[in-house]
Structure 1
């Protein structure tokens, strides 16, 4: 590894301040980074010259992000392969827990699995890459459905409409599904309690892209015989972390607190 360049680090430090505040003055930059005023001035002039920052019209000492960053972000977004990134992160998560990890996307009332990394333990499951399953019977599906508007859910699942079941534990009521999705939305997690396979439990978390849209969900699946309070706690942490890392690889960043 070569050494880092201090001037470049300082320029990136300035740009990253805008992750929290859309508008900053030279004084704000000086105060937050503790850099010499002359250094701050020279870096700001350079970033404006390269179109990474622009001066706010009528407020020459205030700055906002420039078009060059938008152009770079657009190129990044165009070349992100969701399936490739999903498999890469799922492989890491599976390695950490030695359980089966899935990533799926939503299409209508179904989920389609785009990545699956197997546990070394034999587990019988109905999922497979490319296979469709009813969203309401799966953890990944419920996670993805929770991000839809009430109006969209009403179109997909009209009131009083029956739902197809996969096991005796599957939800067969649109009303109960919508009630359950409120809890999923609040907790940021969805569970499949033997709803798609009789002997399997899973926990799922959402994956968002650079626009903040939930584009996929990640789950960890385990046989019911290994599902207990400790497993639930550990796997919940792992799936949140894995979904977060996949989201980050797609350009998502958490909203400022």
Structure 2
């Protein structure tokens, strides 16, 4: 359980109760008192006040997290816009590489661009905010599914599904794709080697939440001469640094 001490003892005690209840399916007064280290008299008044505010709910002799927290959590999610947080990082990547940069998420069965920053060079990558991508041929799509468990991956891409070919380098075999996803997990980044669009390459990296789940991906795209083979590793290193920074900001 987290132990954070501030200059507001009452708030510290409330957070200790929340932290404990996050780890268990309800708890009695005695259990909360013993695990939180709060005096009995303080525990009683604290729990009564939290129930009154809807932060906890009481059923018989047990206390549970209250629906007020659900309401607050939803509002926090609305105000916590990953696009705003990612924008400065994407701007740095674009400015330092001259590449077109994207932020994307998995929405249902499709990756989708939430944000696009155009390359400052006179090179246009045909993409737009809201564009849906292929799971198996785009760098961003492959990164978004690389950390899924086998069951979730099979639901998105059944083994008997035929993967459409877009270019000569598109991966169309599920087993080869799974090998590619394993490679992405090992090295920490994905690569689209002109698999989605002839002549266009892309480096993509995952963004993780505090639970270690991939919640988004960053990508840098350009034509083949902008991402030559001898610059791929250095660009991947830059992208992974951006991934770590954005992941840290989301925690």
The alpha carbon displacement at 1:189 in A equals: 0.8
In the other structure, the counterpart of 2:243 is 243
Q: Given the two structures, how large is their TM-score scaled by the length of structure 1?
A: 0.69
2:125–2:221: 8 Å Cα contact kept in structure 1?
A: no
Q: Deviations over 1:225-254 (max 9, x none)?
A: 132344212211221122222222222xxx
Q: Deviations over 1:40-84 (max 9, x none)?
A: xxx9584534326649837959xxxxx99xx8x957555211223
1:94–1:117: 8 Å Cα contact kept in structure 2?
A: yes
Please tell me the root mean square deviation across aligned C-alpha atoms, in Å.
3.0
For 2:37 and 2:174, locate their aligned partners in 1 and report how far apart those are by CA, in whole Å: 56
Q: Given the two structures, how large is their TM-score scaled by the length of structure 2?
A: 0.70
1:45–1:246 CA distance, 2 compared to 1 (3 A):
closer
In the other structure, the counterpart of 2:34 is 57
Three-state SS of the structure 1 residue aligned to 2:101 is strand
2:125–2:222: 8 Å Cα contact kept in structure 1?
A: no
The gaps in structure 1 that reach 5 residues or longer are 1-21, 25-42, 62-66, 252-257
In the other structure, the counterpart of 1:95 is 95
For 2:5 and 2:241, locate their aligned partners in 1 and report how far apart those are by CA, in whole Å: 35
How many residue pairs align between the two structures? Answer: 205
For 2:186 and 2:111, locate their aligned partners in 1 and report how far apart those are by CA, in whole Å: 21
The alpha carbon displacement at 1:219 in A equals: 0.9
1:208–1:247: 8 Å Cα contact kept in structure 2?
A: yes
The gaps in structure 2 that reach 5 residues or longer are 18-32, 39-49, 56-68
Three-state SS of the structure 1 residue aligned to 2:136 is helix
1:106–1:135: 8 Å Cα contact kept in structure 2?
A: no
The alpha carbon displacement at 1:132 in A equals: 0.8
In the other structure, the counterpart of 2:25 is none
For 2:181 and 2:234, locate their aligned partners in 1 and report how far apart those are by CA, in whole Å: 23
In the other structure, the counterpart of 1:188 is 188
Three-state SS of the structure 1 residue aligned to 2:83 is helix
The alpha carbon displacement at 1:126 in A equals: 3.3
1:102–1:219: 8 Å Cα contact kept in structure 2?
A: yes
Three-state SS of the structure 2 residue aligned to 1:158 is coil
For 1:102 and 1:198, locate their aligned partners in 2 and report how far apart those are by CA, in whole Å: 19
